[in-house]
Amino acid sequence: MGNFGIWVLTICLIFQSGYGFYLPGSYPLKHVVGNYLSVKVNSLTSIDTEMPFSYYSLPFCKPVEGVKDSAENLGELLMGDRIENSPYRFKMHTNETEIFLCQTNKLSSDDFKLLTKRIDEMYQVNLILDNLPAIRYTRKEGFMLRWTGYPIGVKIKDVYYVFNHLKFKVLVHKYEETNVARVMGAGDAVEGFPSVGNKGSDVPGYMVVGFEVVPCSVMHNGDLVKNLKMYEKYPSPIKCEPTTVSMPIKEGEPIVFTYEVTFEESDIKWPSRWDAYLKMEGAKVHWFSILNSLMVITFLAGIVLVIFLRTVRRDLTRYEELDKEAQAMVNEELSGWKLVVGDVFRAPSNPALLCIMVGDGVQILGMAIVTILFAALGFMSPASRGTLITGMLFSYMILGIAAGYVAVRLWRTIGFGDHKGWVSVAWKAACFFPGIAFFILTILNFLLWGSHSTGAIPFSLFVILLLLWFCISVPLTLVGGYFGAKAPHIEYPVRTNQIPREIPAQKYPSWLLVLGAGTLPFGTLFIELFFIMSSIWMGRVYYVFGFLFIVLVLLVVVCAEVSLVLTYMHLCVEDWKWWWKSFFASGSVAIYIFLYSINYLIFDLKSLSGPVSATLYLGYSLFMVLTIMFVTGTVGFLSSFWFVHYLFSSVKLD
């Protein structure tokens, strides 16, 4: 009955996610007419530098109550998000025009240079209302393009203009479930809710389902606003023309900021309010292209697998049909993989390193499966900022048990059951991959610190990450290692000779074949890789986690098949050093992904400027490909180990 209940719950979750309901994300908030809505600001971002900066690093208007940070989770901090309050505020369903915000101080030389530099670098302002980012529509060649945020300003004929007037449109939908509690969870603008009595739920209210912005550059008269206070009406009409600019930036002169807001009732239901963001131009998933790629790769992998199974089965059947005398004669004329029976399980070079990398690969693969599966079910929707990174981090730490178990048990198998050194192996498995990640990210963090970017991880967060690493991940990995030491090691089906067999000269370098094997796994994911890269570096929203899970499963299958075939080919030419080659046969896909990353940098990120930005891109790409190498290499090695063990346990050769 318990299993039936779990299946029912799973089906319900899938159906709910299919209707667009975000399971753990933000909940619909009822805003009564006249309630204040608070607009928040996120970091300034640019695809030109890929370095986020604080909104208030530029001379913008600040709230009367002072700048305050919003509650942030670990994932937001790691992604460089810095969400703060802003001076923009609206009254629900109340249109307002010509609202004066503030007049800045006279621009100093440093402020002027910084402001013009940020305009040159195409930085965008990112506003958030009720957890929805501001969206901007532009028309180009008859097509309507959607963008999140709006540019700080624009440069025309060596003159810099700033967008100092914002025209907001808030789409609202009437709150329908009047019997539900008015506040159903934490979210933005909760502080603006007045207390109501028992009949509060009967008061008509609205939900925010859209947030649009039109930036304008308007020339204001500084003399008219000298005695104005924030939120008072600007004394003259303001005409917002998005196609014209008229507010040049000049050193020693202030900037006046104003805004207007209109509310519009919309048919968009609350669960569908993210659709506009998930269907950005240029980020549409080419379903037919991806399906075609998956079908071709599956077909090719199936052919390879069929040929491979037929070849091995023919060898085994032919040998098993012989009587003992014929087997004795055949033993004298053995060829191919049967000749390496006394060496096939000989310990590889650097066995501890192999065990550690395989253990870490199992941990990363488990993290990927758990994270993508939960994201596909809607538990990590775009509405919940930072949950994806936070979920990845915590699932990785918990799965340290799997890393320690696999690494130590493989170590004992290679050592024929010897317990000696298992603590060292478990400790190294807990520190090897995180140590590489810590080293790469620390170097990149110094670059971000030097640039005063909000993308830099604060020192306090560094301490928290180290505490999580050594207080959770390392102990769990040691616990897994303990269970791996207690578990029985895998018995080899054949004995290993004392003297290693000489490997005959090969017609071609074996490593050349190993490196070429990565092309087939790369073919399974290169299309999906484009959308992932666009999400990371072009600011687009990635949301097809269900499809990503299918690609991950297919990648695992193809990596296993490729490694099996390569291992069999090496054994057939009497090359018994298959351990590392099986790891890198599928792990070599990382090389092609890194080459693809360089190609993406050259042809898709043409606007990326500066050595710091390029170094950040290449550093993060290197970290990504190393992670993929650990995962794919582990899949290839474990499948090859299973195959070699099965092959030589099926044929008893003494």
The stretch 74-89 carries a mean pLDDT of: 86
Say if residues 428 and 421 touch (Cβ distance below 8 Å). no
Share of the chain above pLDDT 90, in %: 45
Q: Give me the pLDDT at residue 568, please.
A: 86
Residue 509 covered by a domain: no
Domains identified in the chain, total number: 3
Higher per-residue pLDDT: 529 or 27: 529
- Predicted confidence band at 161 (pLDDT cuts at 50, 70, 90)? very high
- Span 218-253, pLDDT tens digits: 998 878 888 899 999 998 889 888 888 889 999 999
Which of these ranges, 114-118, 143-147, 587-591, 642-646, has the smallest mean pLDDT?
A: 143-147
578 and 458: one domain? no
Nearest to 257 by CA among 274, 238, 270, 271: 238
Could you give phi then psi for residue 269, rounded to 5 degrees?
-80, 155
Q: Give me the pLDDT at residue 177, please.
A: 56
- Predicted confidence band at 322 (pLDDT cuts at 50, 70, 90)? low
288 and 250: one domain? no
Say if residues 51 and 612 touch (Cβ distance below 8 Å). yes
Q: What is the helix (H) or strand (E) element at residue 124, kind and residue range? A: strand 124-125
Q: What is the helix (H) or strand (E) element at residue 146, kind and residue range? A: strand 143-148
365 and 384: one domain? yes
Instruction: For 296-314, give the DSSP string.
Output: HHHHHHHHHHHHHHHHHHH
Residue 358 pLDDT exceeds 60: yes
439 and 544: one domain? no
Domain span including residue 425: 350-490
In the three-class reduction of DSSP (H, G, I as helix; E, B as strand; rest coil), residue 384 is classed as coil
Residue 285 pLDDT exceeds 80: no
Higher per-residue pLDDT: 324 or 464: 464
Residue 283 pLDDT exceeds 60: no
Which of these ranges, 36-50, 191-205, 295-309, 387-401, has the smallest mean pLDDT?
A: 191-205
Say if residues 368 and 634 touch (Cβ distance below 8 Å). no
Share of the chain above pLDDT 70, in %: 83
Axis-axis angle for helices 545-572, 579-587 (nearest 10):
140
Q: Give me the pLDDT at residue 451, please.
A: 87
Say if residues 379 and 24 touch (Cβ distance below 8 Å). yes
The stretch 510-519 carries a mean pLDDT of: 86
Residue 332 covered by a domain: no
- Identify the sign of the CA torsion 404, 409, 414, 418: positive
What value does the mean pLDDT of the chain take? 82
- Predicted confidence band at 75 (pLDDT cuts at 50, 70, 90)? confident
Q: Hunting for tokens 């298959």 — which residue is that? A: 578
238 and 255: one domain? yes
222 and 259: one domain? yes
Residue 17 pLDDT exceeds 60: no
Nearest to 210 by CA among 124, 139, 128: 128
- What is the spatial distance between Cα 204 and Cα 209, in angstroms, rounded to a whole number? 16
In the three-class reduction of DSSP (H, G, I as helix; E, B as strand; rest coil), residue 515 is classed as helix
Nearest to 424 by CA among 472, 467, 478, 469: 478
Say if residues 360 and 637 touch (Cβ distance below 8 Å). no
The stretch 399-422 carries a mean pLDDT of: 90
Residue 644 covered by a domain: yes
- What is the spatial distance between Cα 309 and Cα 316, in angstroms, rounded to a whole number? 10
- What is the spatial distance between Cα 564 and Cα 644, in angstroms, rounded to a whole number? 9
Say if residues 605 and 598 touch (Cβ distance below 8 Å). no
Residue 405 covered by a domain: yes
- Predicted confidence band at 11 (pLDDT cuts at 50, 70, 90)? very low
Nearest to 420 by CA among 489, 343, 500: 489
Long-range Cβ contacts of 141-145 (<8 Å, 24+ apart): 143/281, 144/281, 145/281
Q: Give me the pLDDT at residue 625, please.
A: 95
Residue 428 pLDDT exceeds 80: yes
**Domain-ending residue, one of 246, 277, 308:** 277
Q: Give me the pLDDT at residue 180, please.
A: 42
83 and 111: one domain? yes
Higher per-residue pLDDT: 75 or 395: 395
263 and 296: one domain? no
**Domain-ending residue, one of 245, 277, 309:** 277
Q: Give me the pLDDT at residue 288, please.
A: 56
- What is the spatial distance between Cα 607 and Cα 306, in angstroms, rounded to a whole number? 47
Residue 579 covered by a domain: yes
- Span 164-179, pLDDT tens digits: 999 999 999 988 654 4
Residue 243 covered by a domain: yes
Q: Amino acid identity, residue 294?
A: L
Q: Hunting for tokens 């603590």 — which residue is that? A: 423
Q: Hunting for tokens 């490694």 — which residue is that? A: 563
Higher per-residue pLDDT: 51 or 145: 51
Residue 185 covered by a domain: no
481 and 552: one domain? no
Say if residues 395 and 367 touch (Cβ distance below 8 Å). yes
**Domain-ending residue, one of 277, 294, 328:** 277
- Most confidently modeled of 144-148, 282-286, 301-305? 144-148
- Span 537-567, pLDDT tens digits: 887 777 778 778 888 988 998 899 889 888 8
354 and 446: one domain? yes
35 and 98: one domain? yes
Residue 84 pLDDT exceeds 50: yes
- Span 594-650, pLDDT tens digits: 999 999 988 888 767 778 888 999 999 999 999 999 999 999 999 999 988 888 887
Residue 428 covered by a domain: yes
360 and 399: one domain? yes
Q: Give me the pLDDT at residue 529, please.
A: 87
